[in-house]
Amino acid sequence: MVLAEGSPDKQELEGRLVEILHRISGADPAAITPDARLMEDIGIDSLGFYEILIEADTCFGIRIQEEQLLQFKTVSDIQNHLASLDTDPSNAQTA
Amino acid sequence: MAVRQHISQRVSIVGWGSVSPLGCDAESTWQSVLAGRSGISSLTAGWSDDLPVRISGCVPDAATKSLEPLLQRRSDRCAQLGLLAAREAWAMASAAIGGIDPARVAVVLGTGIGGLHTMHEQHNQLTEGGPTRVNPLTVPMLIPDAAAGQVAIDLGLHGGAHTPVSACASGAEAMMLAQMLLNDGRADLVLAGGTEAPVNRLGLVGFSAMRALSTRNDSPEQASRPYSKDRDGFVLSEGAGVLAMMREVDTPTDAALGWQLACGSSSDGHHIVAPEPQGIQASRAIEDALHRAGIEPSDLCAVQAHATGTVLGDLAEARSLRRSLGHATDHIPVFAPKGQLGHLLGAAGAVEAIIGIQAIHEGVLPKTVNADPVDPAIDINITTKQAIKIKSNKDQYMLKNSFGFGGHNISIVLSASCRS
């Protein structure tokens, strides 16, 4: 599944991000709120962060830079980052 | 230097678990063995269409689907199967023993290959998607010790986690190491066995390329033919078996399902895959096991053979049995479970050992499916026609063989009280 054409609206992107984080962590989707902390609240470990990187590439066609990845603390950090890339197409690469 | 062999302190088996092509647990596997069912079937998935071998023994889907989604995502099928068997064995042992200190429980879970599916899948990711698409869990999922580690994590055990890797002898070697750990006082209970999940393109092609597999694609249920004159190789299968073992002196009354008296071992030192044709070193393992168990060949009620259905391997094993058991060979029935299971590689020893103890306990040595007509060069007493009743109400002894590529030979003496 690659979003090579057009861009997902914010709500769709958030929904799919929750789905990805649920798959990676096994956490209850209801607990994956914007304020939830990735490690402490959702249980994503260090390898899980790199899974996020692959899933963003595979599902959204977005390559998150590693230095950005390691700064994510909460779900909204990822959402905001994806949204910022989405508004600047030059930053997004399709798979 | 004088050879010193000690009589081993036998250990009790207080629980077990298995997942196999014949069932999702140890009891259903045993019932399928008794019923003469085959676990071998045709592969129907598209990925097998162009393969020279399109048959295998697969664990029912329901087994792994019962695992938590995160475990399904973050562990290879090899570890998943091992975990299922270990959970079953642990639940059974916990119910029988109670109050087990997790710091004194060790895991010894062998495998022949480990996470082959992950290796294959992630290599495809690398070649098709590039380096950025390779799963960060690739290494922790494919390493052979992943199953032992996952079991220790899942059950919260801290007495050591070990992974013997000796190809198709791995599960039996795990049982040998378990006895050593117990008798060395390093653990009070050991979950020991093997797991394997080789049924994928790379696994099938790899074994097929060396002409180790049966090519009876049109008759899968007849393909695995241990000791038969028509045998043409083994059938690749998956599964896992785990036995919970403890020192006999620590075992509560009536908690033992059976006993492991002793294990013998040797190495062929001959060829990386071909067995030494006369079975001379296999004989040494058999005689080592009998000696350490303190019994004679005439004390055996049965032999459970390794017998994979390869031309060379079956013949070498039959010669080793004839050499080691002497005249007693004429009277000791030999059962080869791979006719129904196929070859579970590193899981075979443990899954089959559980079946062996169930057989003694129930007083029934199953029929060896597909052995008939037996190769005239095989001069042992195989249960080709029907199951055989194991008589007597005293403890009975069974010899169990497991051999692996690399020339690993393990023989085990098992026992149980026959209830009939």
Count the neighbouring beta carbons within 10 Å of the beta carbon of residue B210: 10
Q: A53 to chain B: which residues are within 8 Å by CB?
A: 132
Measure the N-to-C terminal CA separation of chain A; round to a whole number of Å.
Answer: 10
Q: Do A50 and B69 touch (CB under 8 A)?
A: no
What is the spatial distance between Cα B201 and Cα A52, in angstroms, rounded to a whole number?
Answer: 28
- Residues B352-394 have pLDDT tens digits of 999 999 999 999 999 999 999 999 999 999 999 999 998 766 7
Half-sphere exposure (Cβ direction) of A41: Cα atoms closer than 13 Å: 14
Residue to substitute from A51, A52, A55, A63, interface B, most B β-carbons within 10 A: A51
Respond yes or no: is residue B291 known to be catalytic.
Answer: no
| Residue A24 in contact with partner chain B when CB distance is under 8 A | yes
Q: Which residue did the predictor score with more confidence, B408 or A60?
A: B408
- Residues B80-95 have pLDDT tens digits of 999 999 999 999 999 9
Enter the ipTM: 0.75
Q: What is the pLDDT of residue A8?
A: 55
DSSP, residue by residue, chain A = ----SS---HHHHHHHHHHHHHHHH---GGG--TT-BTTTTT---HHHHHHHHHHIIIII-----HHHHTT--BHHHHHHHHHHHHH-GGG----
- Tokens encoding B63: 């087994």
- Nearest chain B alpha carbon to A46: B136
Residue B418 has pLDDT above 80, yes or no: no
What is the spatial distance between Cα B152 and Cα B155, in angstroms, rounded to a whole number?
Answer: 5
Exposed / middle / buried, residue B272 (Cβ in 10 Å: 0-12, 13-18, 19+): exposed
Domains and CATH numbers, chain B: 11-250 (3.40.47.10), 261-417 (3.40.47.10)
Q: Do A47 and B129 touch (CB under 8 A)?
A: no
Q: What angle do CA B319, B323, B328 make, to 5 degrees?
A: 110
Helices (H), B193-263: 201-209
Q: What is the pLDDT of residue A93?
A: 43
Distance from CA of B138 to the nearest CA of A (A): 10
Closest of B132, B180, B190, B135 to residue B158, by C-alpha: B190
Q: What is the pLDDT of residue A4?
A: 40
Q: What angle do CA B178, B174, B258 make, to 5 degrees?
A: 60
Cα–Cα distances in angstroms (integers) from residue B364 to residues B38, B119, B415, in the given order? 18, 41, 14
| Residue B131 in contact with partner chain A when CB distance is under 8 A | no
Q: Do A54 and B70 touch (CB under 8 A)?
A: no
What is the spatial distance between Cα B75 and Cα B57, in angstroms, rounded to a whole number?
Answer: 21
| Residue B70 in contact with partner chain A when CB distance is under 8 A | yes
What is the spatial distance between Cα B129 and Cα B122, in angstroms, rounded to a whole number?
Answer: 10
What is the spatial distance between Cα B246 and Cα B178, in angstroms, rounded to a whole number?
Answer: 9
Secondary structure, 3-state, B119-166 = HHHHHHHHHHHCHHHCCCCHHHHHCCCHHHHHHHHHHCCCCCEECCCC
Q: What is the dihedral of CA B169, B170, B171, B174, to 10 degrees?
A: 120
Q: What is the dihedral of CA B311, B359, B413, B276, to 10 degrees?
A: 0
Task: Indicate the helix (H) or strand (E) that contains B362.
Answer: helix B348-362
Q: Do A53 and B69 touch (CB under 8 A)?
A: no
Residue B39 has pLDDT above 90, yes or no: yes
- Residues B286-338 have pLDDT tens digits of 999 999 999 999 999 999 999 999 999 999 999 999 999 999 999 999 999 99
Residue A91 has pLDDT above 60, yes or no: no
Share of chain B above pLDDT 90, in %: 94
Q: What is the pLDDT of residue A3?
A: 40
Instruction: Please identify which of the residues B117, B162, B306, B408 carries the catalytic annotation.
Output: B306
Share of chain B above pLDDT 70, in %: 98
pLDDT tier, A6 (very low <50, low <70, confident <90, very high otherwise): very low
pLDDT tier, A95 (very low <50, low <70, confident <90, very high otherwise): very low
- Nearest chain B alpha carbon to A56: B133
Whether the ω angle into residue B373 lies within 30 degrees of 0, i.e. cis, is yes
Summary mean pLDDT of chain B: 96
pLDDT tier, A2 (very low <50, low <70, confident <90, very high otherwise): very low
Task: Indicate the helix (H) or strand (E) that contains B192.
Answer: strand B189-196
Q: Do A51 and B70 touch (CB under 8 A)?
A: no
Q: Do A57 and B133 touch (CB under 8 A)?
A: yes
- Nearest chain B alpha carbon to A63: B132
Least confident of A14-28, B49-63, B367-381: A14-28
- Tokens encoding B156: 């919260």
The number of angstroms, rounded, from the C-alpha of A46 to the middle of its chain's C-alpha atoms is 15
Count the neighbouring beta carbons within 10 Å of the beta carbon of residue A88: 9
Count the neighbouring beta carbons within 10 Å of the beta carbon of residue B130: 11
pLDDT tier, A30 (very low <50, low <70, confident <90, very high otherwise): very high
Q: What is the gyration radius of the CA atoms in chain B, in angstroms?
A: 20
Instruction: Read off the amino acid at residue B239.
Output: G
Q: What angle do CA A8, A12, A18 make, to 5 degrees?
A: 125
Pick B136's closest partner by Cβ from A23, A25, A51: A51
Q: What is the pLDDT of residue B336?
A: 98
- Residues B93-123 have pLDDT tens digits of 999 998 899 999 999 999 999 999 999 999 9
Q: Do A51 and B140 touch (CB under 8 A)?
A: no
β-pair partners for B395: B417
Distance from CA of A11 to the nearest CA of B (A): 25
CATH 1.10.1200.10 fits A10-91, yes or no: yes
Q: What is the pLDDT of residue B5?
A: 67
Q: Do B135 and A54 touch (CB under 8 A)?
A: yes
Helix A10-25 to helix A46-55 angle (10° resolution) is 140
| Residue B373 in contact with partner chain A when CB distance is under 8 A | no
Q: B68 to chain A: which residues are within 8 Å by CB?
A: 26
Distance from CA of A45 to the nearest CA of B (A): 11
Q: Do B133 and A54 touch (CB under 8 A)?
A: yes
| Residue B68 in contact with partner chain A when CB distance is under 8 A | yes
- Nearest chain A alpha carbon to B130: A95
| Residue A58 in contact with partner chain B when CB distance is under 8 A | yes
Q: A57 to chain B: which residues are within 8 Å by CB?
A: 132-133
- Residues B147-186 have pLDDT tens digits of 999 999 999 999 999 999 999 999 999 999 999 999 999 9
- Please tell me whether residue B292 adopts helix, strand or coil conformation: helix
